[in-house]
Structure 1
């Protein structure tokens, strides 16, 4: 029963004081008095275990994204919380049931994890797709952003990034680097080097087939803005030079 009593005496007016051990509370009147009838003023109380309000009953939590991972309502017991995917705890991850039958603190909140807007590359722009939602310019977990470049520029880096549960993007944003396009092969000749795109500073050399020669000795050079410094030289037959 866990109940202890300290009796002053059994004469009229004497008292009996009942106590419960830690973790239990007195259920009934803890102080009894000996009355003129020869009886105590009330029946002997009992000891009930201290219990805090349940946090797992329907409607007990106001936070829809909070999950209770551990739940012990007894004195000294703990309730441990986590958040649904895409959310993070704000506040202590757990509370303890105290002697007064109340939890040691409020239930924490679960706020959405968000990523800051990614840096838009110079000479580039964003293509929104498969977005899991935006809030005030910030992106929710799972949002996917794709990048594209303008004009004579090509992407260097990841073309698409995803907002992760860490609150950071899966990859740094790419760069848009200027590139000069492939000019094709001259008639009766070839271009060296032959590439899909050229970086600023690259030069083209036109090599003509036997019996043909280029009128120009200058070489086209890829400029910083993605344009060639001159048109591609052509190969002409010796007799036409």
Structure 2
């Protein structure tokens, strides 16, 4: 009987052992990403374990083993630790080479701007669990070698050690010499000067090529302060000023400008322009203008005229229209005090004539031909006198001017042998037609 009993006990123990193992939770069943492994390979039913995140991550999990299965008690998923801004380096920029955010594992690469070079041995930073590694890289300006000059040349600027962008200016000590080469050089991004150090040479100028012109008495070389004489071809004119040889070349660029005339009178009083729309004319070209009704050509009494642009750049006559105006009629025996103020085309003036003259109209009107009517005043006339018992002596006319006089004799039909004979004169007066007095 003992053997079976012992065998039954062993079987029961083995079954109990297997059932206990069925209640355990295994480490390998914890499958969260970026976690640290837990301490034991398995945990009994009812045990609780804390799962930590890997270095560089934040978060945690708290799990409980229930009948062989892990149950989550608390959960804060593992996420990459954040880093602050890696820092901007002066005269440089950075870009991501790993990642796209400032979190664990991200790497940024620093580069220098144009004209600057990396002074640091390491030019990148990576976000670690403790923050950014390495120090902030430094960009320094590219340097150019020192500048050396001789006694006849001076240099201004940072000549000992130029940095990128620095400019050096050169001048000759003698005022009779000029720079042979570049008067200014700058430090380039490659650490070299943009040009070599210049020298000084005597101030001379060479004869230029002049478009539409020519040099008079051309020389191979001109000394300082020499004057350049030049001329222009027909239809062109000299530029104002006198070119002199200086340390910077000719003080004035010798040029020949095309001769042109500007037609400005395009609106005022103008009725028609031929050619239409053109305002700039070359020498020899013409423009014709026709003035509107109340206008005529400037200082003329015509309404249409052609104008020529001359070789000196001026019109042969002023191409413009002006208001038609009438002058004071001094020679028409009128009182000039009435003719003032508006005397443009169409103006009307009341007027009076001088003594001995009669008005031809109540008003004078300004026209293209002057004041009308023409004439404004006419001399007063006297008809031939008709005096009873008298006879006109000499030539007889139907009308006589003011102050004219006629001789009169008594008619023979009325002579009296008792009375003396009658002789006298008749005269034309501005106040009355006929007067008579006895001689």
Q: TM-score when scaled to structure 1?
A: 0.50
Q: Tell which has more relative contact order, 1 or 2 (C-alpha 8 A, sep 6+).
A: 1
Higher Cα Rg: structure 1 or 2?
Answer: 2
Structure with a larger share of its residues in helix: 2
Q: TM-score when scaled to structure 2?
A: 0.30
